[in-house]
Amino acid sequence: MFEILNSVLAYFQQLPWLELIAMLLSIAYVILAAKGSLWCWPAAFISTALYTVVFYEVLLLMDSALNAYYLLMAVYGYWQWSKKPQENQANKSELTIVSWQLNWHIKACAALAIVALGLGYLVDNLTPAHFPYFDTFTSVYAVFATYLVAQKVLENWLYWIVIDLASIYLYIEKGLIPTTVLFIVFIIVAGYGYKKWLKVYKESLFNQHAAVN
């Protein structure tokens, strides 16, 4: 019993606190985003700044670059979400959620796969990055999914579920245990976010239909 307790204490003493803080702020980001709160973006800005450093130190270079991109998207997302709704908008919900057609997503995913292959080749041959193709694929799709969040596209949560599942393997291999836990939480919150946004989206469609009639 005491050996187990000592092992747990030893683990937390050696825990990378920079990664832990980034993890907690990232959890705050996804929960606030799922709730449609504008405050998700400040949390995203700080957490991604920290993760830019964390991933660079373990040579996940595409993940590090991805988080630098997240910094810019946090600013853009805050600006996009802070726009006031139009006066004649039927649904006064904080979120104005849209849904894009399946054919559009299929074409986008095919284009992203081509981009990821090309970037993965460059990263593999020009840098010392670990898992160059795997890391590049998750990063490229995460760039697109982040744009979908900022545009309030319902399907962004489905992208995140797949991306987070793939990323868990990558972070286990690199020994980033707090981040692995974070991405498990991300999957749960993404499911919640999709359910909540879908409800708001359906309510918006109903209100628009009622306003027309």
pLDDT digits (tens, 9 = 90+) for 45-56: 999 888 888 888
| 125-150 tens-digit pLDDT | 887 877 888 888 998 999 899 899 98
Q: How many residues appear in the chain?
A: 213
What global pTM score does this model have? Answer: 0.74
Q: Where are the domains of the chain?
A: 18-83+97-212
CA-to-CA distance for 93 and 81, rounded, in angstroms?
12
Half-sphere exposure (CA, 13 Å, Cβ side) for 64? Answer: 13
